[in-house]
Chains A and B, each alone.
Chain A
């Protein structure tokens, strides 16, 4: 079981476990987000990502989830009693980012543009709304990451 994001390889992460962790909190999370007309991880961010871009993009996205989404949303996580699932996701995202960091040399412009599109959509929303929408889109992120997953 490994991720192969272009030149970047990450072993030891079980994608099914992450999907299951999110599945248990999906309904609770996505109910918080009633703005169905705005999507952070939109097609222009994730569609037709080349192998070369994929390592940079997944690195930027996971780092943002760790440093902004998970960090600022932990109070809600506790409130909704979702700590086990949250920990599984956060710890695995941390592990993946650490592995990616080792093999990344320089910036990839097109990957960075995709990430900036995601980030600008996030910034246009009120903070709490943006946080719950981003957390509710973890299944979209994992579905995309699944394209680079090898059993």
Chain B
């Protein structure tokens, strides 16, 4: 009789673990800008103090989940997976497991993430040099955390070959918008290839249409 009870107990425990007590954890998702890929999530409605979180990740199609070092049994609700998701053309998943103080787990998986498709572009760093009768605007190449096989750190311009910048000049109440490609000397407008999501712009151009 004892064995039967054990089986019943294990059975229900197994069912419990498999069942996703989603009260502890919700909305795990990647947020990416300039290829800095941050995983974040929210605590669930029933989340209680003492809940800790562990993060795993993998490439789509692979069987093995890999534990993210530095994001095991943490209390914060974000984890930097930039280094682990550095292949621009690859597709990734991440998984968060929340464990309550009583030891009950809840696991949620992100949507499929592709850095090239999902990253947004931040406005570039600009140095402004006023002169007697002109202003020189130097747009600095935006370095990304992406490296080539030989260790070269890529800029946005090297990733998006047809990237160009938009400079918006405000003279009294009038605006002037001009486009220029990196390396040239005319004023600039930030536009990216069609499949990249719109960026955050420090001073968004009035007309935000993307080709």
Contacts and interface: CB of A to CB of B under 8 A. Distances in A.
Given A19-B194, A19-B195, A36-B109, A42 B61 contact: yes
A146 B88 CA distance: 13
Contacts of A19: 117, 194-195
A96 interface: no
A12 interface: no
B120 interface: no
B195 A30 contact: no
Interface of B is mostly: loop
Nearest to A39: B61
A126 B15 CA distance: 25
Interface in A21-79: 26-27, 30-31, 34, 36-39, 42-43
A33 to B, nearest CB: 9
B95 to A, nearest CB: 9
Given A15-B194, A143-B89, A146-B195, A39 B60 contact: yes
Contacts of B102: none
A34 B60 CA distance: 11
A151 B211 CA distance: 10
Interface of A is mostly: helix
B107 to A, nearest CB: 12
Contacts of A38: 61
A38 B61 CA distance: 4
A146 B160 CA distance: 13
Contact of A143 (B58, B63, B111, B117): B117
B157 to A, nearest CB: 16
Interface pairs A-B: 10 shortest CB-CB: A39-B61, A16-B194, A37-B63, A19-B195, A36-B93, A30-B112, A39-B60, A42-B61, A36-B60, A30-B111
Interface of B: 58, 60-63, 89, 91, 93, 109, 111-112, 114, 116-117, 162, 193-195, 211
Given A36-B112, A42-B61, 5 more contacts: A16-B194, A36-B60, A37-B63, A38-B61, A139-B114
